[in-house]
């Protein structure tokens, strides 16, 4: 049994203010760092936004994948990079889900200790939603993490795991073709690309509701004028009807939220997942154990 999820996109830049200007940020190559392997759910978003921002800024923008350790390698790279606005980080909180309907729960309990669920990476919400399922329904599921959403979907299609938490835009083509079946999504409302699929809340489990975002972030300390220039380019990209159409065709919903809203969202989600992370016993060292 394979499950799919809703994705809520918020492309944002976290404000960072420093009273100096670095010319390179106005004319050189800009890189967007993605912490997952190529071909994953984040890649279409990165390419579509980078193309529009490049035209607006008059600067080349390249996508650079730095997978590993559930995004930690990418985060460390950003932390050690200069705060000049030439490097952006495509951060994500990519939620996915499965449907705890009566039939599924009965089946899982009948096979307690024998079943596994997949996630697109350890240490992510798709991992901890499975832990939450174990807690809520006492299912004793084994976690099978992958190194990206593309690899996870390939594993689901190959039957290497019977169900899992997968991102909408990675799984949507296979759901539409009938190779995978979507049973529920985590969004507060039904996903526009899967209008016939109910939400967790509709099924009576509002505690599994979780919003998803992808967002562009810059390192603290980027000059104010550089930050504003990047922000304006990102906002213009998300306001463009052609860009929105491309993203929605990939299963995204564009909010266009900017720094303050994303900061609030991040704080809320830290609170949302903190207890589950602690209860699961997960640590940074566990992030390397993926397929």
Q: Report pLDDT digits (tens) over 208-259.
A: 877 667 778 888 888 888 888 998 998 899 899 999 888 888 777 787 677 7
pLDDT, residue 52, reads 94
Over 50: is that where the pLDDT of 161 sits?
yes
Dist CA 94 CA 125 (whole Å): 7
Quickly state the pLDDT bin for 151 (edges 50, 70, 90).
Answer: confident
Quickly state the pLDDT bin for 14 (edges 50, 70, 90).
Answer: very low
pLDDT, residue 286, reads 56
CA atoms within 13 A on the CB side of 9: 24
Over 80: is that where the pLDDT of 116 sits?
yes
150 phi and psi angles, rounded to 5 deg: -65, -45
Quickly state the pLDDT bin for 263 (edges 50, 70, 90).
Answer: confident
pLDDT, residue 70, reads 55
- Asked if residue 249 lies in contact with residue 231, where contact means CB atoms within 8 angstroms, the answer is no
Mean pLDDT confidence for 179-184: 82
Mean pLDDT confidence for 11-18: 32
Over 80: is that where the pLDDT of 60 sits?
yes
Burial class (CB in 10 A: 0-12, 13-18, 19+), 97: buried
- Asked if residue 202 lies in contact with residue 26, where contact means CB atoms within 8 angstroms, the answer is no
Over 90: is that where the pLDDT of 204 sits?
no
Dist CA 246 CA 24 (whole Å): 31
pLDDT, residue 12, reads 32
Distances (CA, A) of 53 to 83, 235, 240, 248: 19, 9, 11, 18
Dist CA 106 CA 150 (whole Å): 29
Instruction: Tell me which DSSP letter residue 214 carries.
Output: E
- Asked if residue 11 lies in contact with residue 230, where contact means CB atoms within 8 angstroms, the answer is no
Over 60: is that where the pLDDT of 3 sits?
no
Q: What is the mean pLDDT of the chain?
A: 76
pLDDT, residue 92, reads 64
pLDDT, residue 233, reads 92
pTM of the model as a whole: 0.60
Mean pLDDT confidence for 120-129: 82
Dist CA 13 CA 23 (whole Å): 20
pLDDT in tens, 89-109: 887 654 333 345 667 778 888
Whether 24-94+212-263 and 102-211+270-288 share one fold: the answer is yes
Torsion angle, alpha carbons of 269, 271, 277, 278, to 10? 170
Could you tell me which CATH number the domain at 24-94+212-263 has?
3.40.190.150
Name the nearest CA neighbour of 262 among 5, 6, 15: 15
Dist CA 264 CA 260 (whole Å): 6
Looking only at the bridges linking them, the beta strands covering 30-34 and 87-93 are parallel
Structure tokens given for 276 = 């589950």
Extents of the domains making up the chain: 24-94+212-263, 102-211+270-288
The CATH class for the domain spanning 102-211+270-288 reads alpha beta
pLDDT, residue 210, reads 74
List helix spans (H) across the chain: 24-27, 42-57, 72-80, 102-110, 125-137, 149-157, 168-177, 224-239, 241-249, 259-280
pLDDT in tens, 21-30: 334 455 689 9
β-strand partners of 32? 63, 88
pLDDT, residue 177, reads 86
Could you tell me which residue, 136 or 51, shows the higher pLDDT?
51
Mean pLDDT confidence for 19-42: 67
Tokens 């912490």 found at: 35
């Amino acid at each position: 049994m394979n499950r799919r999820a809703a994705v809520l996109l918020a492309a944002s830049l976290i404000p960072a203010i420093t009273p100096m200007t670095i010319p390179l940020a106005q004319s050189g190559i800009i890189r967007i760092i993605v912490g997952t392997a190529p071909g994953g759910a984040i890649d279409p978003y990165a390419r579509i936004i980078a193309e529009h921002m490049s035209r607006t800024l008059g600067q080349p923008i390249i996508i650079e994948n730095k997978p590993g350790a559930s995004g930690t390698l990418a985060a460390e790279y950003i932390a050690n990079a200069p705060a000049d606005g030439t490097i952006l980080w495509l951060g994500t909180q990519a939620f996915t889900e499965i449907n705890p309907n009566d039939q599924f729960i009965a089946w899982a309990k009948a096979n307690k200790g024998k079943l596994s669920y997949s996630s697109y990476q350890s240490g992510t919400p798709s991992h901890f939603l499975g832990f939450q399922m174990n807690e809520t329904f006492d299912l004793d599921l084994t976690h099978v993490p992958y190194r990206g959403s593309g690899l996870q979907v390939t594993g689901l299609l190959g039957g290497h795991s019977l169900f899992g938490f997968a991102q909408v835009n990675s799984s949507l083509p296979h759901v539409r073709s009938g190779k995978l079946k979507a049973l529920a999504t985590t969004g507060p409302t039904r996903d526009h690309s899967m209008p016939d699929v109910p939400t967790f809340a509709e099924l009576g489990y509002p505690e599994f509701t979780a919003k998803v975002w992808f967002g562009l972030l810059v390192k603290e300390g980027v000059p104010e004028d550089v930050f504003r220039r990047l922000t304006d380019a990102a906002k213009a990209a998300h306001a463009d009807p052609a860009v929105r159409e491309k993203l929605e065709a990939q299963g995204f919903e564009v909010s266009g939220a900017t720094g303050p809203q994303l900061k609030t969202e991040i704080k809320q989600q830290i609170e949302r997942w903190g207890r589950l992370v602690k209860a699961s016993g997960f640590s940074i060292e566990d992030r390397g154990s993926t397929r």
